[in-house]
């Protein structure tokens, strides 16, 4: 998939090469997102296991090659992806409510084709590979936490984004980037349920899809 996307980006840039100048820029960026891991095994259980919106963040480096109004971007983004749950166990006087969370320490590498000039509006499409370095489960019913890293797979997400690149001055080589990015899993992240149990232990296993919607802000330096 990464090779296909790179080929598409390079082909698009080649088709627009006539009378265009190849430029490069690099920058720092950060993101704050609403995050969740969706799995039908959990969705089918109703009130005992339900989703609770969580958040995550990323920061890192972006490298860009631009040819006219088409660009190819590769980013390196360590960060945190949280998936939250809530529910009720028991009934009547014995009912208890709880919340639980899995915190994933991730390293994401988005590869994106961008459409738009060096300044002004832009759209981006591509994929992101996401490695899971550590996963920690916690539950409001206990102060104990457990490491569940081995229950998760590295996963790939499809990426779609929109935003604007704002020049900070004609003679100043810095550009402010502000945008919104949506991601949804196209490969299985696996993982645990709301009680920390391995989802692969369910009688009929369903894949886990990581999803996020976030605000991305960056500062880019025009190298050439």
- Give the residue extent of every domain in the chain: 2-79+93-222
Distance CA 71, CA 27 (A): 14
Compute the half-sphere exposure of residue 77: CA atoms within 13 Å on the CB side of its CA: 28
pLDDT at 168: 87
pLDDT at 17: 47
Distance CA 59, CA 28 (A): 8
H or E element that contains 180: strand 174-185
Distance CA 69, CA 123 (A): 11
pLDDT along the chain (224 residues), means of 10: 52 52 92 96 90 96 92 97 93 87 98 91 97 97 95 98 90 91 97 96 94 96 80
pLDDT at 92: 77
**E strand intervals along 40-154:** 50-52, 54-67, 70-89, 96-115, 120-139, 145-147
* CATH number for region 2-79+93-222: 2.40.160.20
């Amino acid at each position: 998939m990464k090779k296909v996307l790179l080929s598409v980006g390079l082909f698009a840039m080649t088709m627009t090469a006539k009378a265009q100048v190849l430029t490069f820029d690099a920058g720092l960026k950060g993101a704050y997102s609403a995050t969740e891991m969706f799995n039908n095994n959990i969705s089918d259980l109703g009130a005992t296991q339900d989703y609770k919106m969580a958040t995550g963040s990323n920061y890192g480096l972006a490298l860009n090659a631009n040819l006219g109004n088409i660009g190819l971007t590769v980013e390196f983004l360590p960060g945190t992806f949280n998936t939250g749950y809530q529910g009720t166990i028991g009934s009547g006087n014995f009912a208890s409510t709880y919340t639980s969370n899995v915190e994933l320490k991730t390293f994401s590498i988005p590869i994106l084709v961008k459409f738009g000039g060096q300044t002004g509006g832009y759209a981006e499409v591509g994929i992101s590979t996401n490695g899971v370095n550590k996963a920690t489960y916690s539950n409001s019913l206990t102060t104990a936490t457990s490491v569940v890293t081995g229950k998760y797979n590295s996963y790939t997400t499809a990426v779609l984004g929109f935003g604007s690149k704002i020049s900070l001055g004609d003679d100043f080589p810095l550009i402010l980037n502000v945008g919104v990015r949506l991601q949804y899993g196209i490969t299985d992240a696996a993982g645990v349920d709301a009680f920390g149990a391995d989802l692969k232990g369910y009688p009929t296993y369903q894949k886990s899809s990581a999803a996020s919607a976030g605000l991305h802000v960056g500062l880019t330096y025009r190298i050439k």
